[in-house]
Amino acid sequence: MTTPVRVALLGAGTVGAAVARRLVERADLYAARVGSPLELVGVAVRDTSRVRDGVDPALLVQDAEALVDQADVVVEVMGGLDRARELIERGIRNGAQVVTANKQLLAHHGPALEALAAEAGVGLDYEAAVMAAIPVVAVVRDSLAGDVVTSISGIVNGSTNFVLDLVARKGVPFEEAVRLAGELGFLEADPTEDLEGLDAAAKIVLLARAAWGAPLTLADVQRRGITGLTDEDFRTASANGKVIKLVASAWTSGAQDAPRVELAVRPVALPQDDPLAQAREGSNVLIVEAESAGTLRLHGAGAGGDETASAVLGDLVRAARRVTRA
Ligand SMILES: NC(=O)c1ccc[n+]([C@@H]2O[C@H](COP(=O)([O-])OP(=O)(O)OC[C@H]3O[C@@H](n4cnc5c(N)ncnc54)[C@H](O)[C@@H]3O)[C@@H](O)[C@H]2O)c1
Ligand SMILES: N[C@@H](CCO)C(=O)O
């Protein structure tokens, strides 16, 4: 019997509970893919008395430090900045591999965490942080490593797309669409994350860093959210055969040997037949242009428990393989 790879899960919310369920349901599959079983040693939560569907209550713990100290792989899906950073740093210093879905943490502290991980010789994987189930980080960083990416643009925030789609296709007044999105659970706990383009800004920073290796920060993003839009803007767009979308973009400018990376998140009125205009409801689309590959289009679910867990578990399998091969 091979030694199990010990996994510490930090957080059992929408994403964490889905990861925990899949680890149990598909244990045989992961064991075959890794070459060793994945053992979920515990799940750190704030309240251990709360029942989480499909998550063994015996695994719930409050002492996240003690949990991290037992792990070969730390999976951070609790969100937030300071606590998540402390625990990830602890895991890295212990020599654990780290997987996270935390886009804001990475947008703020990604380079420092990556430097720490490189120093410790461990991986820090974050495919789920950008567009959840849609594999985009690996595409721009690894699959296109032999090419030159020239631009990236997309609908990377499902919540605002849901709002804008309701207005454009169903004729719901803008304020009403925002309210409905909140009621249906489409908006983050702090809705300004979505509505002011902060979530999209974090995602485009992560993609641009992955594509160009440039030391970009959130301050480099020219950002405008959707809160300044009015019903008149939607009527004008529609009268001109256009659809308003919140578009996140990254492109290079300046000398070819020393290109500058420009970043923006802003509402744009797009022609109806533009590929980005096709994103319906909460879906995401990304268009990547590269010198040799030409135009690549990735489309799918950019949020949701199971969808995000798909990307987290993909990173977990790769991280666990590094553990077994070390
Ligand atoms: N939900 C999505 O569709 C989605 C998609 C992509 C990325 N993400 C990212 O995944 C992460 C988790 O998202 P979620 O939707 O599951 O959030 P959530 O709010 O549903 O769950 C967070 C969990 O972490 C726990 N937690 C938070 N702070 C904690 C602390 N200090 N100590 C112990 N437990 C703590 C909470 O109790 C909860 O169980 C976030 O970083 C989010 O940005 C989410
Ligand atoms: N609020 C985010 C969740 C997934 O990152 C979105 O709507 O895209």
pLDDT digit string, tens, across residues 151-210: 999 999 999 999 999 999 999 999 999 999 999 988 988 999 999 999 999 999 999 999
How would DSSP label each residue in 211-246? HH-----GGGEEE--STT--HHHHHHHHHTTEEEEE
Tokens of residue 232, six digits: 């008149």
> Residue 211 has what pLDDT?
97
pLDDT digit string, tens, across residues 70-117: 999 999 999 999 999 999 999 999 999 999 999 999 999 999 999 999
d(C-alpha 167, C-alpha 173), whole Å: 6
Lowest-pLDDT choice from 203-217, 248-262, 297-311: 248-262
Give 189 or 286, the one with higher predicted confidence: 286
What's the gap in Å between 69 CA and the centre of ligand 2?
A: 30
255 pLDDT above the threshold of 90: no
C-alpha closest to that of 87 among 63, 65, 61, 60: 65
In the chain, the N- to C-terminal Cα span, in Å, equals: 18
Q: Decide: pTM greater than 0.90.
A: yes
Mutate to test the pocket of ligand 1, among 77, 193, 310 (most ligand atoms within 8 A of CB): 77
What are φ and ψ of residue 117, in 5° steps?
Answer: -65, -40
**Taking residues 43-56, what's their average pLDDT?**
94
What's the gap in Å between 10 CA and the centre of ligand 2?
A: 19
Cα torsion 192, 195, 197, 203: sign: positive
Give 258 or 11, the one with higher predicted confidence: 11
**pLDDT band, very low/low/confident/very high, at 36 (cuts 50, 70, 90):** very high
**Taking residues 232-256, what's their average pLDDT?**
95
Give residue for tokens 């799918």. Answer: 300
Annotated catalytic, 203?
yes
Contact 277, 237 (CB under 8 A): no
Name the residue at shortest CA distance from atom 8 of ligand 2: 157
Give 255 or 159, the one with higher predicted confidence: 159
**pLDDT band, very low/low/confident/very high, at 1 (cuts 50, 70, 90):** low
Mutate to test the pocket of ligand 2, among 188, 226, 310 (most ligand atoms within 8 A of CB): 188
Ligand 2 atom nearest 188 alpha carbon? 1
Tokens of residue 49, six digits: 């008395």
d(C-alpha 213, C-alpha 194), whole Å: 26
One-letter identity of residue 262: E
pLDDT digit string, tens, across residues 10-32: 999 999 999 999 999 999 999 99
Ligand 2 atom nearest 161 alpha carbon? 7
Please list the alpha-helical segments (H only) found in the chain: 14-25, 27-34, 64-68, 82-94, 103-120, 137-138, 158-170, 174-183, 192-195, 198-212, 231-239, 305-325
**pLDDT band, very low/low/confident/very high, at 226 (cuts 50, 70, 90):** very high
Question: What percentage of the chain reaches a pLDDT higher than 70?
Answer: 100
Name the residue at shortest CA distance from atom 26 of ligand 1: 78
Ligand 2 atom nearest 203 alpha carbon? 5
One-letter identity of residue 166: L
Tokens of residue 94, six digits: 């212990």
> Residue 258 has what pLDDT?
79
What order of strands is seen across the sheet that includes strand 294-301? 221-223, 260-271, 242-253, 149-155, 283-290, 294-301
Tokens of residue 135, six digits: 């594999």
Tokens of residue 31, six digits: 């064991």
**Taking residues 303-320, what's their average pLDDT?**
97
> Residue 70 has what pLDDT?
97
Verify whether ligand 1 is closer than 6 Å to residue 157 (CB atom).
no
Mutate to test the pocket of ligand 2, among 77, 106, 130, 157 (most ligand atoms within 8 A of CB): 157
What's the gap in Å between 252 CA and the centre of ligand 1?
A: 33
Ligand 2 atom nearest 303 alpha carbon? 4
> Residue 254 has what pLDDT?
85
Enumerate domains of the chain plus CATH numbers: 5-132+306-325 (3.40.50.720), 137-302 (3.30.360.10)
**pLDDT band, very low/low/confident/very high, at 263 (cuts 50, 70, 90):** very high
pLDDT digit string, tens, across residues 128-139: 999 999 999 999
C-alpha closest to that of 268 among 246, 287, 236: 246
